[in-house]
A and B are shown apart, each in its own frame.
Chain A
Amino acid sequence: SIYGATQAGTAANSVFGGGPFTRSVFTQSYDTTSDSLPLDEIGPAEITTFSEVRHKRQDIQEIPDDQDLVKIVDITLTETDTIWMFDMPDVKVSVESPEAEEVKRCYTAYIELQKNRVGNDLYAERGMNTFNESHKLKNMNTQKIETEDVQTECTNWNMFDTYNTQETDYNDDDNVEDEEGTISRPTSPKDDDADKSAVDASLSMSTVMKEPSLAPSGKMLSSQKLGSRNTLASSSGLDSELQSSLNTAIELTDKEKLVQEWDELSKSEKLKNHLFVLERAVNLNTFQQKQAQYRGFVPYSSNSAEYGSGLSDSNPNLDRLWSYSCNLTRGKNVSCITWNKANLDLVAVGYGQFEFSNQKPGLICCWCIKNPKYPERVFATKQGVTALDFSAANPNLLAVGFYDGGVAVYNVRKTVDEPVLDNFTTAGKHTAPVWQLKWIHKERGSGEERAEVLISISSDGRVCQWSIRKGLESYDVMKLKKMPTRMVGRTREKKGEAFISRYAGGMCFDFQSKDSNIYLAGTEEGYIHKCSCSHNEQYLDSYQGHTGPVYSVQWSPFVSDIFLSCSADWTIKLWHQDKTRPILSFHSSTRAVNSICWSPWSSTVFACVNEGAVEVWNLAISTLDAIFSLSSMSGTKQTCVSFSQNSQCLLVGDNEGQVTVYQLRNIAKHFQADQEQLLRDVIKASLASQLPGPDEDLGVSLDDEDDETASQAHGPT
């Protein structure tokens, strides 16, 4: 049933026939109303006569009752087909066609007509009347059309982002739902609509219809133009899951949402990375001057008189930059320091007590130059740590030796506190503290060609090689037998004395850089033995000189025949590998020398620490005394020293858990062309001034071509 009085048609087009400006009266104008059509009538848009229409109307007039009044009626307004009342297409005639003449004649006749029309009696103006249809005003109610102002910034990167997200949408259907989830997360309406309008604009540009999962967003496009986001969500037919999340999100207050967000964020790794960078930036701000000095930059002083290193500052000295310590390391004894081979800013420090009576759980900290306040990695261990070394082949592997003889390998990439490998339960474990560990590149290994193996030395007298193929497997490279004591002026030891073990405890070793089969091992007895990996029973050579345990032995990085050793007998000795007696002996204090280190840039410089002071020696200047000595005020004992590889700095560890970074100034002139020759010259000079001792082997000289030194040595006497 059709209700509603509808307006009777639109203006009917009056139809003019015939030529222009004729005098005939159009009788059809009276009929125009009959031809008018009620266009809003549902049904086929056929041309019906007025009488028919009227007839229909009379049929269907009924009196509406109550039920009919409240019934909801769907009225669909549709556009009818276009009704062509008059169609006169223009005709085009080619100039060359046969009709052209006729057409041209018509044109000219028309032009003549127009000219003649003006004052002609034949033509008269005449007005015409049409019926005035009665007007009716119609009102209509709709729901309030809510409008919203939406603006979006269309920048280079906005478009780039949307294209990118669109591509990932195509590639990954599963993520579309999440995408929509993020879009409808309660955020400020402006931004949200801006995002959506950007997305929708781009969607409409491409063929969206292929992707059925994107269809809802297509609907969003059409209905988004009107209405707020809430009605949008309800009318676009999204998943129920999404619907419920949207509802719950709306229910939370703003503050709770933020708390929820923070909870999620505080577990994320991204936040940790950002905080890590910030921590370093903050540290850099505080330590900027020290770090610049570390890197070798010389700071300007405001007072121009002290610009750079003036004349007044020409004495060698150590400048304290900063020290690594935190509450974890307080009170622990620094037992070893080692640098990372790949990242020269990274240093690993091991903490463990030297004495048997004072054992505490140990600690390994990896410190970085860029953050002096807190270590990058902290590994806690049950036993005290006595030896450390970073691998060169795999720079993330750190080998650790313990006081109980255990050896473990840690992966410093992870922050996990567990070692990757350890030998705590294997049979080949050392039975005494592991005093030194090194990763050695073997050229002629037993079976494995150019692998890196771990060598350890311990007080139980064994030098062990560990391979990391499957767990830690050991292989005894050497058993350090005790030397029959034949010290100067003493006879053989009485046979009655009971030996605890046939082996001498090993304290340190160093492989030769030229030949990785040859190495030196220092023992508790004071001997240094030159050994080879191919002979595991015999020594190639034994060097006597020290009267106490040898704590450290190091080949010179410049001259491959020279090595340096330090011992608890207060001395440091310089040796040549062909002479079993030391060439030079350095004695500067009455305290045991715990550690030495050759300087990596200068062949005549080395540093040593004894219990209470750090000393730097430069043999080119003096072989009798250190050129610089820094004593600790507070009574701490220095235990370890190491030169930095990428800076003019020295790291010194002490028994309070502090590792202090000192910068060396004016120690030696760098850029000397021939470092090797420098050292040889020094040695030659010192040998020349020495009186020959009773046991000294005078036949051996340092250089092949130089026999004069030997004869010179005799000369002055």
Chain B
Amino acid sequence: MHSDDIESIINRITSHQGVKALIIMNKEGLLLKTNMEMNPTTEQLITNIHDLTISARRLVRDVDPHDDLMFLRTKSNTDEILISPDVSFTVVVIQEVTETITVKTSSTIESLQ
């Protein structure tokens, strides 16, 4: 039952606007599932993403071992890499950057609550 839901969520994510790649890897950085074609560039990308996740996790846990890394976003000029790590696997989505916006926080807090 879960596997159907998982398949449908994966389809929705990969068909979403701007999404270039979806990668699922196990805890050693070995590829489990992806929708990218396998060429040396991809493999290099995956290795680097894995190393980045390890470094980020090290950062969080060194400060406080009770804590753990939950989510990591890396934005470049062209892409945004969204990394969702877990103990035994990591899910990564690469999405193209749309226009960035800045917002003004309203000075009068309206009675919305």
Interface residues of A (CB under 8 A from B): 155-157, 159-161, 187-188, 191, 254, 258, 261-262, 265-272, 274-279, 281-283, 285-286, 288-289, 292, 296-300, 308, 373-374, 415, 601, 646-648, 670-671
- Assess A275 versus B101: contact at CB under 8 Å? Given A258-B26, A258-B31, A646-B112: no
Verify if B46 is at the interface (C-beta below 8 Å from A).
no
Within 8 A of A (CB), among B46-70: 58, 61-62, 65-66
Task: Contact check, A271 vs B110: say whether CB atoms are below 8 A apart.
Answer: no
List the B side residues contacting A289 at CB < 8 Å.
101
Contact A157 B106 (CB under 8 A): no
Chain B hits for A300, CB < 8 A: 101-104
Q: Which residues of B contact A297 (CB under 8 A)?
A: 103-106
Bound-state Cα–Cα, A258 to B33, Å: 9
A518 to B80, CA, bound (A): 56
30 contacts between A and B (CB under 8 A): A155-B58, A155-B61, A156-B65, A157-B62, A157-B65, A160-B66, A191-B28, A258-B26, A261-B26, A261-B32, A262-B24, A271-B2, A271-B89, A272-B2, A275-B6, A275-B10, A279-B12, A281-B93, A282-B18, A282-B93, A283-B16, A296-B106, A296-B112, A297-B106, A298-B106, A299-B102, A300-B102, A601-B110, A647-B112, A670-B111
Point out the residues of chain B lying under 8 angstroms from A601, CB to CB: 110-112
A279 lies within 8 A of B112 (CB): no
- Residue B74 is within 8 A (CB to CB) of chain A in the complex: no
Q: Interface code B3-32, partner A: CB below 8 Å = 1, 0 otherwise?
A: 101110110110011110000101010111
Q: How far is the CB of B68 from chain A (nearest CB, A)?
A: 9
Q: Which of A157, A282, A283, A292 contacts B103 (CB 8 A)?
A: A292
Contact B24 A671 (CB under 8 A): no
Q: Say yes or no: A271 contacts B101, CB within 8 Å.
A: no
- Give Cα A298 to B108, complex, Å: 12
Asked whether, in the complex, the Cβ of B95 is within 8 Å of the Cβ of A282, the reply is yes
A298 CB contact (under 8 Å) in B6, B10, B82, B103? B103
B4 → chain A closest CB, angstroms: 10
Query: How far is the CB of A702 from the nearest CB of chain B, in Å?
Result: 26
Binary interface encoding of chain B residues 78-110 relative to chain A, with 1 for a CB under 8 A from any of its CBs, else 0: 001010101011010101011001111110101
How far apart sit A76 and B2, CA to CA, in the bound complex (Å)? 61
Given contacts A155-B58, A297-B103, A297-B106, contact A282 B65 (CB under 8 A): no
Task: Give the shortest distance, in Å, between A671 (CB) and chain B (any CB).
Answer: 7
In the bound complex, do residue A671 and residue B98 qualify as a contact, i.e. CB atoms below 8 Å apart? no
Name the one of B61, B62, B82 contacting A281, with C-beta atoms under 8 angstroms.
B82
What is the minimal beta-carbon distance from A324 to any residue of chain B, in angstroms? 14
- On whether A258 and B101 interact (CB within 8 A), knowing A282-B95, A671-B111, the answer reads no
B73 / chain A contacts, CB cutoff of 8 Å:
281
Pick the contact of B13: A279, A288, A298, A415 (CB < 8 A). Answer: A279
- In the complex, what distance in Å separates the CA atom of A373 from the CA atom of B18? 14
B41 at the interface (CB under 8 A from A): no
The answer for the CA separation of A297 and B102 in the assembled complex, in Å, is 9
Residue B113 interfacial (CB < 8 Å): yes
Interface centre among B33, B65, B86 (most CB of A within 10 A): B65
Residue of B nearest to A254 (CB): B30
A648 to B16, CA, bound (A): 27
**8 A-B pairs with the lowest CB-CB distances in the bound complex, closest first:** A160-B65, A157-B61, A297-B103, A157-B65, A262-B32, A275-B9, A274-B84, A289-B101
Alpha-carbon gap, A261 to B93, bound state (A): 20
| Known A-B contacts A258-B32, A261-B32, A267-B2; A671 and B16 likewise in contact (beta carbons under 8 Å) | no
A286/B62 in contact, CB under 8 A: no
Q: Given the complex, which residues of B lie within 8 Å of A671, measured CB to CB?
A: 108, 110-111
Bound-state CA distance A188–B31 (Å) is: 15
B111 → chain A closest CB, angstroms: 6
Name the B residues within 8 Å of A373 (CB-CB). 12, 16
Q: Which residues of A contact B13 (CB under 8 A)?
A: 275, 278-279, 282
CA of A299 to CA of B50 in the docked complex: distance in angstroms?
36
CA distance A191 to B17 in the complex (A): 39
CA distance A670 to B109 in the complex (A): 11
Chain A neighbourhood of B24, CB < 8 A: 262, 265, 271
B105: chain A residues within 8 A (beta carbon): 297
Q: Count A-B contacts at CB 8 Å.
A: 138
Q: Is A299 within 8 A of B58, CB to CB?
A: no
Q: Say yes or no: A282-B89 contact (C-beta < 8 A), given A157-B62, A298-B104.
A: no
Give the distance to chain A from B98, nearest Cβ to Cβ, in Å: 6
Is B111 touching A278 in the complex (CB atoms < 8 A)? no
Q: Which of B9, B16, B86, B103 contacts A270 (CB 8 A)?
A: B86
B113 touches A272 (CB 8 A): no
On chain A, the residues within 8 Å of B93 by CB distance are 278, 281-282
Per the bound structure, the CA–CA distance linking A267 and B113 in Å amounts to 40
Q: Which residues of B have CB within 8 Å of A258?
A: 26, 30-32
A266 near B111 with CB under 8 A, answer no
Q: A296 CA to B30 CA in the complex, in Å?
A: 43
For B101, give the chain A residue with the smallest CB separation. Answer: A289
Contact A271 to B26, CB < 8 A, known contacts A157-B61, A258-B31, A300-B104: no
The residue on A at minimum CB distance from B17 is A286
Q: Is the CB of B91 within 8 A of A274?
A: yes
**Complexed CA–CA distance, A575 and B7 (Å):** 53
Given contacts A272-B5, A282-B95, 12 further A-B contacts (CB under 8 A): A157-B65, A271-B2, A272-B6, A275-B13, A277-B84, A278-B91, A279-B16, A281-B82, A281-B93, A285-B80, A285-B97, A648-B112
Q: How far is A646 from B111 in the complex, measured between Cα atoms in Å? A: 9
Chain B residues within 8 Å of A415, by CB? 5
Please tell me if the beta carbons of A274 and B61 are within 8 angstroms of each other in the complex.
Answer: no
Smallest beta-carbon distance A553→chain B, Å: 26
Contacts of B95 in A (CB 8 A): 282, 285
Pairwise interchain contact B26-A276, C-beta atoms closer than 8 A: no
A274 to B32, CA, bound (A): 15
- With contacts A261-B32, A269-B2, A278-B13 taken as known, whether A285 is within 8 angstroms of B106 at the C-beta atoms is no
Contact A187 B106 (CB under 8 A): no
Interchain CA distance A288-B80 in the complex, whole Å:
14
For the complex, give the distance between the alpha carbons of A159 and B65 in Å. 9
* B6, A161: Cβ atoms closer than 8 Å: no
Whether B19 pairs with A282 at a CB distance below 8 angstroms is yes
> What's the least CB distance linking A344 to chain B, in Å?
9
Distance A279 CA – B5 CA, assembled complex (angstroms): 13
Report whether B6 and A271 are in contact in the complex, using a CB–CB cutoff of 8 Å: yes
Are A277 and B71 neighbours in the complex by a CB distance under 8 Å? Answer: yes
List, in ascending order, chain B residues with CB within 8 A of A296's CB: 106, 110, 112
The answer for the CA separation of A324 and B86 in the assembled complex, in Å, is 31
Q: Given that A266-B3, A267-B3 are contacting pairs, would A272 and B9 also be in contact in the complex, using a CB cutoff of 8 Å?
A: yes
User: How far is B5's CA from A415's CA once the two chains are assembled, in angstroms?
Assistant: 10
- Complex CA gap A278/B84 in Å reads 7
Q: Which residues of A contact B106 (CB under 8 A)?
A: 296-298
Tell me the minimal C-beta distance from B41 to chain A in angstroms: 20
Would you call A285 and B98 a contact (CB within 8 A)? yes
CB distance from B77 to the nearest CB of A (A): 15
- Complex contacts, B91 vs chain A, CB 8 Å: 271, 274-275, 278
Which residues of chain B have C-beta atoms less than 8 A from A274's C-beta?
Answer: 84, 86, 89, 91
- Least CB distance from A715 to B in Å reads 39
Q: What's the Cα separation between A647 and B26 when bound, in Å? A: 41
Minimum CB–CB distance from A371 to chain B (whole Å) comes to 9
B contact residues around A285 at 8 Å (CB): 18, 80, 95, 97-98
Cα-based distance from A297 to B105 in the complex (angstroms):
6
Min C-beta distance of B92 to chain A, whole Å = 9
